[in-house]
Chain A
Amino acid sequence: MYKPLKRLFGALVGIAMLGMSAQALSEPLKIGYSDWPGWVAWEVAIEKDWFKEEGVDVRFEWFDYVASMDAFAAGQLDAVAMTNGDALVTGATGARNVMIIINDYSNGNDMIVARRGINSVADLKGKKIGVEIGFVSHLLLLNALEKNGMSESDVELVNVPTNETPQVLASRNVDAIVAWQPSSGQALNMVPGATAIYTSADEPGLIYDVLAVSPTSLSANRDAWVKVARVWYRVVDYIQDPATRADAVSIMASRVGIAPAEYEAFLDGTKILTREEAMEFFKKGDGFTSLHGSSKIADEFNVANDVYKDPQPVDDYIDASITGAL
């Protein structure tokens, strides 16, 4: 009885020490990402081992979107892929972050999908809408309502995880849902007669998808993050070069577990940005054609709608110098 116990104890101590020494030896940059074309694109670099070629030690962790922000907020990640609006929400609720890479802007993948009979945003008045409250879809909805002279009080919101929006619309418990691909597309497929009455293509630049880094990690590992950005633009070239695009798409499709042909459609709703384009959007300015302007608008929306209380210092959330250093 005694000997096996001693052995077990030894093994446990061994495992613990192994864990600690591994941590002390090398600490890769931990990046959380989730199912969105502009972020799944990182998979190309992971598969091709480009981070190693660039000499930067990173570790990508795949999450559900909200879980990835939770893990970042809990201090378990150095960086997380999120939208600029959610970067502010995450920052306002405790995990300050700096957006250093603009992957893309949503160009139609985020949608308000309404059941048959509702043909415009104006028709939503007094209707029930399924949306993940406090996150990017909520912002898109508020933007659509405002453009049509309404506000949140004109509709009834039902808090639904984005993954489950297709089923919820199919169940007829709501009249419309807000989601991004693949959930928005699934909702269109599953609910006969459903249409997208408003999409991010109606307001390009409302939703930028970015890599947001914790300020601590950014100041401690500046060079490493520049290397990460360099790898990102290698990925962008690989996707945009007609000769290699098919390979890129097949890697991305395999990450999410569907056929490459099916995945092409998702890429169409995502405007992946070249470095030159991204630098344009990094410039300070008003309106949706600047990351600053877009984030400023998102901030005002968030405060006005009680997503959080205090306006955020938007400029502190944006650092163009990493992308600029390439």
Chain B
Amino acid sequence: MNKPWFAVRKELSPRRRSFLAVMSFVLPLLVWSLVSYVPFIWHPQVEIIEAGEVDYFRTGMLVDRSVFEQERETLRAEGRELPTGTRTNPVYLPAPHEVATALYTAFSTEPQRRNEKWLHESLADSIQVIFWGFFLSSLIGVPLGILAGTYVAVSRLTEPFVEFFRYLPAPAFGALAVAILGIHDAPKIAIIFIGTFFQQVLVVANTTRKLDPALLEAALTLGARNAGLLFKVVIPGVASDLYRDMRILLGWAWTYLIVAEMIGASSGITWFITQQARYKNFDNVFAAILIIGIIGLTTDLILAWLGRRLFPWQRTARA
């Protein structure tokens, strides 16, 4: 326990590791709580309790502190009834307990109409969109990336165009996707695909290129050729690194979810977020954003655990 906390590239004890992991969540939560509950830190607005003689103030209205003070000064000078209020944060920043309540209510509220969905059903829709987008992208992107990383000819034929295309913003293809693929899940999956695929090819190709040349030379010396070299040496050699790439890319796919679901008919978790934002229920909006974060993190933890079992020889897969 006397070892230093900050030693370059030295492993920490398991206790310290878990402590820091917990703190990485506790600290932001602490900042959020401080900003929410301690009035003098931020609270740039005032919630009116009594409007006093300010003609446009209403009970419950939020006004900027400067405006509130100014109106008070004016009224005080004239000796009229002063407004009162408490300092508060803008409606865009709900407090942690409000978001926690919203999170619970969002899941426990029963659908009121026949064609309405439970929140978890909407979430399942979103997860399906992500899954298919990522699956289809990987189905083509991974083999293409491996080939491009192995054979210079494939690399020269594909990568310049892929490099070009990856700069095109995926959401810009929304209207085209709707025109070709309809209004339901297909255009949304297409946006996730476009957002993921081109990065994927490049990342996979680069990882494949990093394969230890000694392995290839040894295999060539031992007489391995073409298909054998590819399937027996290259792919097994990069598999664990590719697995790690895929975990990162899956996170990438998630970030396209909201723009993808804005296209065509409203659906999934995005429907919930945009609708609640329209009516300024930001506690619900933050709750939904949290859900996405939790799902993403959980998936990643499961994949990491799986990775440790699939590639026991790879210590770096532990990250």
A, B: real partners: yes
Shortest Cβ distance from B266 into A: residue: A62
Q: Does the CB pair A74–B178 fall under 8 Å?
A: yes
Which of B220-228, B248-256, B275-283 is found at the contact surface with chain A?
Answer: B275-283
Q: Does the CB pair B266–A63 fall under 8 Å?
A: yes
Q: Does the CB pair B112–A76 fall under 8 Å?
A: no
Q: Does the CB pair A116–B56 fall under 8 Å?
A: yes
Q: Does the CB pair A192–B57 fall under 8 Å?
A: yes
Q: Does the CB pair B56–A71 fall under 8 Å?
A: no
Q: Does the CB pair B279–A257 fall under 8 Å?
A: yes
Q: A47-B113, A62-B266 are in contact. Are A76 and B280 (CB under 8 A)?
A: no
Q: Tally inter-chain residue pairs, CB-CB below 8 A.
A: 84
Chain A, 4-38, contact with B by CB distance < 8 Å: what is the 0/1 string? 00000000000000000000000000101001000
Task: Report the Cα distance A63→B261, complex, angstroms.
Answer: 11
Q: A76-B182, A192-B57 are in contact. Are A43 and B275 (CB under 8 A)?
A: no
Task: Report the Cα distance A47→B116, complex, angstroms.
Answer: 9
Q: Does the CB pair B179–A75 fall under 8 Å?
A: yes
Q: Does the CB pair A67–B278 fall under 8 Å?
A: no
B9 at interface by CB-CB < 8 Å: no
Q: Does the CB pair B62–A192 fall under 8 Å?
A: yes
Task: Report the Cα distance A67→B116, complex, angstroms.
Answer: 21
Q: Does the CB pair B262–A67 fall under 8 Å?
A: yes
Q: A63-B265, A186-B279, A190-B62 are in contact. Are A254 and B183 (CB under 8 A)?
A: no
* A163, A190, A255, A257 interface centre (most CB from chain B within 10 Å): A257
Question: Cβ of A189: which chain B residues have Cβ within 8 Å of it?
Answer: 61, 280
Q: Does the CB pair B262–A64 fall under 8 Å?
A: yes
Q: Does the CB pair A190–B91 fall under 8 Å?
A: yes
For chain A, the bracket of interface size reads 35 or more
Question: Cβ of A190: which chain B residues have Cβ within 8 Å of it?
Answer: 62, 91, 280
B175 at interface by CB-CB < 8 Å: yes
Question: Cβ of A258: which chain B residues have Cβ within 8 Å of it?
Answer: 279
A166 at interface by CB-CB < 8 Å: yes
Chain A, 231-257, contact with B by CB distance < 8 Å: what is the 0/1 string? 000000000000000000011001111
B10 at interface by CB-CB < 8 Å: no
Q: A67-B262, A74-B178, A192-B56 are in contact. Are A163 and B280 (CB under 8 A)?
A: no
**Distance in Å: Cβ of A193 to nearest Cβ of chain B:** 4
**Distance in Å: Cβ of B149 to nearest Cβ of chain A:** 21
Name B's A-contacting residues (CB within 8 A): 56-57, 61-64, 67, 91, 112-116, 175, 178-179, 182-183, 262-266, 271, 274-281
Given A63-B265, A71-B178, 9 extra CB contacts under 8 A:
A32-B265, A35-B278, A61-B265, A62-B271, A70-B178, A74-B175, A76-B179, A116-B56, A254-B112
Instruction: Show 29 A/B contacts (Cβ-Cβ < 8 Å), sorted by A.
Output: A49-B114, A62-B265, A63-B265, A70-B178, A71-B178, A71-B264, A74-B179, A76-B179, A76-B182, A76-B264, A163-B274, A166-B280, A186-B278, A186-B279, A189-B61, A190-B62, A190-B91, A190-B280, A192-B56, A192-B57, A193-B56, A251-B113, A254-B112, A254-B113, A254-B116, A256-B275, A257-B275, A257-B279, A257-B281
